[in-house]
Structure 1
């Protein structure tokens, strides 16, 4: 880790220029010492769109992470050895999907085929509604392990598109506060990440049946679907006005200092 891009020993001149130009356009590091616009952040619909979409995403992801091996063992009847590989396969495909969808998203916006807002919305649909459709299919696939594994793999491959949409949207709307926004977003998402497995545990404790697991998957569908609807309605790809409040505050402070100096000069005269 390095304190600034300029101090990084392997950064290219093109990348350094890109970062410094962006910082200059949206506020320098010196401006970041000013107060965080808390009220603006928590009353911003684009911020809440990201938070709720992350909540829906993490609900499904937590169930896949924590409960998929249990489902494969108790419902599909896999041995531990088979279970280990097949439980890991969907997440490998999610990693591959993240690279592919992100590259495609960058290409579409760079060549101006899509605006940033349209690109984020397109890939958020893929990341949330894609798994919703696949999970619905899983709930009706019964004990057909080939269909179940294929649908789960497709669900997480589609979910990789979250890196081209929700995860980067903080930087789109507030580059000066993107780290803080990600922290707030991740707090809500982390709460969901431990609540979801608890809910599944309660629902399936002593009831490892296909019917109970269908209910688990049915809960995932509205979580994915409704949070994505909110994201589509209120997300943004533009820098929010309160992001540049740091500039305005700095200019106000400078104006106030200049006014004080002029007043002192007047008094002396």
Structure 2
């Protein structure tokens, strides 16, 4: 259920990227100045992929579009820490549910809000970000109760890889439906995914539980196995050692890794359909389908990397710290290299899609390293630390699209986008080096003071 929750929230998130590409009247873009510097890609051939001009209803320039796309992150940044703290204190079930519910409702009202003006659209995106900001921290908190330490990498990565499937389905379905007349064209994906989110919300409330002890249908054997491999905590008595957390370099390695990974990830997540549509000159349907391909590669890579990481750790071939450092540093640096290559290949659509896909696939290796690392460092405070780590991502989500707007005043000009890709290379290379130096794969000394006694758990077993 957690996996499908992340599928939905990412479907809801990427729908806006396709929606904006379909909503905006391309004739509003400034006319191309033949004397101006820059490079423009030629139209695609008449083979079903040629871009159609002047189909949108809204006259929004590139800065307005990027302002709307970044609006989500202005809300997302404020609920990461509170979401993690609330999940650690009260349990993640209802926090996660409310996050998905709020972003689903915002999706349903987005088409109406669009006609009220760009400011109202921005406000809707901010509210959506506020709701969705609690989802990752809440799930980290639930993992601390449900995921055995020998399965951290693969189960955490499998659950979070729902974001990749969400990107795949969201991009592809939105591209097809927005180009059709179904439910008015571009509003249709907002209605489809928003309604699906409401159905998921009801199912989650009926099927999910904060801890194995609360689950009415779990077997005794499964419960004992899970609780033997997690750091047990009394939810109502959690006191978070913020001073220790904020002075821990392994925690800051997590923060920097997430922030730099999100720089590249969110920049593509919000702008890839626009890049495919406006720069590489694919039509909206093809732009949606091609934008989904890189996330399919990342989905596969994340799942495989998570399995490999657990295998290497459990067999003792390498230490947990070595595995985390190798995976994260390789993923971040490798992603940066592919972004530089995307800039170099220019208007070659096939090579651009290939390198973007390869880059997101390699970035999936980094995700499989640092996402479970939150559980390594402090299982009892995973929601709070997860909130701190996740709160760094929206900073990239705000600055990345802002720089895209600055460098691509004319979104059809390839030169501005090349600057964006080169900046991504520099940012992720820095993240790779920082994590390599400061990361750790082991529970920190200050994180082991919240264990519950074995006798308390034995009494719990007797009650079943």
Q: Normalization by structure 1: what TM-score?
A: 0.85
Inter-partner Cα distance in structure 2 for 1:163 and 1:18: 26
Q: Which residue of 2 aligns with 1:91?
A: 295
Instruction: Name the CA shift for 1:10/1:31 in 2 (closer, same or farther; >3 Å).
Output: closer
Cα contact 2:331–2:365 (8 A) shared by 1: yes
Q: Deviations over 1:16-48 (max 9, x none)?
A: 23331234xx4x322761421111000000000
Alpha-carbon distance in 1 for matches of 2:335, 2:216: 41
Match of 2:436 among 224, 232, 249: 232
What SS does the corresponding residue of 1:104 show, helix, strand or coil? helix
Structure of higher CA gyration radius: 1
* Counterpart for residue 45 of structure 1: 249
Instruction: Look up the match of 2:387.
Output: 183
Indicate conservation of the 8 Å contact 1:32/1:246, yes or no.
Answer: no
* Matching residue of 1:158: 362
What is the RMSD computed on CA atoms of the aligned residues?
A: 2.0
**Pairwise CA distance, 1:116:** 0.9
Q: Distance in 1 between matches of 2:273 and 2:411?
A: 16
Q: Distance in 2 between the 1:158 and 1:11 partners?
A: 37
Contact conserved, 1:134 with 1:155, CA < 8 A, in 2?
yes
Look up the match of 1:16.
223
1:139 lines up with 2:343 in the alignment = yes
Task: Tell me the equivalent position of 2:316.
Answer: 112
Q: Where in structure 1 are there 5+ consecutive unaligned residues? A: 252-269
Q: Which residue number corresponds to residue 54 of structure 1? A: 258
Unaligned runs of 5+ in 2: 1-207, 454-464
Q: Moved runs in structure 1, 4+ residues, more than 6 A?
A: none
Please give the TM-score of this superposition, normalised by the length of structure 2: 0.50
Q: Shift in Å at residue 129 of structure 1?
A: 1.2
> How many angstroms apart in 1 are the aligned matches of 2:220 and 2:358?
39
Deviates more, 1:117-126 or 1:28-37: 28-37
Determine whether 1:5 maps to 2:212: yes
